């Protein structure tokens, strides 16, 4: 491994461990300070319902996003969160603008920079939003702006979809049609998009392999 890769993995692991400690420390310190502890039975039942899903999705997402975002981008994304809606689109668009491919050293650097800047910008915006919440709330909640906010994500992913479909429509059509049918039949799955991203990725890989074996790619 190069010196760059060694440092990326070292600081990535350190940041991941520190993030886990920070996430676990707040509820622990609150429980110690107020001497209020959750019931172990209820806590165990709740964990049994979410741990299998989150562990499975976490493992699948690591294999799904790592080749796309690179090591540095993956570490940053998993620590700061909101990969599907923000970090991945930022990295993909940055690599497109820079005309580099995912999985290359150039793509790794561009992806890491894009995700890092995205994390900083998000933090600054959230901080400003917190300070100006009372002032901005009437404007952001106005009926005039409501349709725009409701269509931000569809517009963002629609633009990205055009780019990727145009690159290789044979691979893109299969997962796209599958997801469209799935969401039409079961609209309630719209709240579980992050769980279905790995499913679409696996379907695209299987379809690519099939088309390659048939000599269509």
**Is 60 a domain residue?**
yes
**Is 24 a domain residue?**
yes
Give CA 43 to chain center in angstroms: 27
Q: What is the pLDDT of residue 53?
A: 66
**Is 152 a domain residue?**
no
Residue at a domain's end among 108, 131, 154 = 131
Find, among 78, 71, 69, 63, the residue nearest to 119 by Cα. Answer: 78
Give the chain's domain count.
2
**Is 187 a domain residue?**
yes
CB atoms within 10 A of CB 83: 23
Q: What is the pLDDT of residues 67-96, one digit of tens each?
A: 888 899 999 998 988 887 788 888 988 998
Based on the domain organization, do 70 and 119 belong to the same domain? yes
Q: What is the pLDDT of residue 112?
A: 92
Q: What gap in Å lies between CA 39 and CA 45, rounded to an integer?
A: 10
∠ CA 217-106-196, rounded to 5°: 55
**Is 178 a domain residue?**
yes
Based on the domain organization, do 12 and 118 belong to the same domain? yes
Q: What is the pLDDT of residues 167-176, one digit of tens each?
A: 678 888 888 8
Q: What is the pLDDT of residue 211?
A: 85
Low-confidence ranges of the chain (pLDDT < 70): 1, 49, 52-53, 159-160, 163-164, 167, 192-195
**Is 161 a domain residue?**
no
Based on the domain organization, do 108 and 198 belong to the same domain? no
Owning domain of residue 176: 168-212
Residue at a domain's end among 109, 131, 153 = 131
Based on the domain organization, do 77 and 125 belong to the same domain? yes
* pTM of the model as a whole: 0.64
**Is 1 a domain residue?**
no
Based on the domain organization, do 113 and 180 belong to the same domain? no
Q: What gap in Å lies between CA 217 and CA 178, rounded to an integer?
A: 20
Q: What is the pLDDT of residue 52?
A: 66
């Amino acid at each position: 491994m190069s010196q760059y890769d060694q440092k990326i993995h070292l600081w990535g692991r350190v940041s991941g461990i520190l993030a886990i400690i920070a996430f676990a420390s707040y509820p622990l310190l609150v429980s110690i300070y107020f001497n209020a502890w959750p019931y172990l039975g209820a806590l165990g039942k709740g964990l049994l319902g979410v741990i299998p899903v989150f562990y499975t999705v976490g493992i699948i997402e690591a294999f799904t996003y790592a080749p796309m975002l690179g090591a540095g981008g993956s570490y940053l994304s998993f620590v700061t969160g909101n990969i599907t809606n923000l970090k991945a689109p930022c990295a993909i668009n940055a690599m497109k603008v820079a005309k580099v491919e995912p999985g290359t050293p150039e793509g790794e650097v561009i992806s890491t920079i894009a995700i890092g800047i995205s994390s900083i910008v998000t933090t600054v915006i959230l901080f400003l939003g917190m300070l100006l919440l009372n002032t901005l709330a009437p404007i952001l909640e106005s009926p005039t702006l409501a349709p725009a906010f409701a269509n931000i994500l569809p517009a963002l992913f629609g633009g990205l979809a055009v780019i990727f479909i145009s690159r290789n429509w044979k691979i893109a059509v299969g997962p796209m049609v599958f997801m469209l049918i799935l969401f039409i039949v079961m609209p309630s799955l719209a709240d579980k998009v992050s769980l279905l991203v790995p499913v679409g990725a696996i379907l695209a890989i299987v379809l690519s392999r099939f088309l390659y074996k048939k000599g269509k790619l």
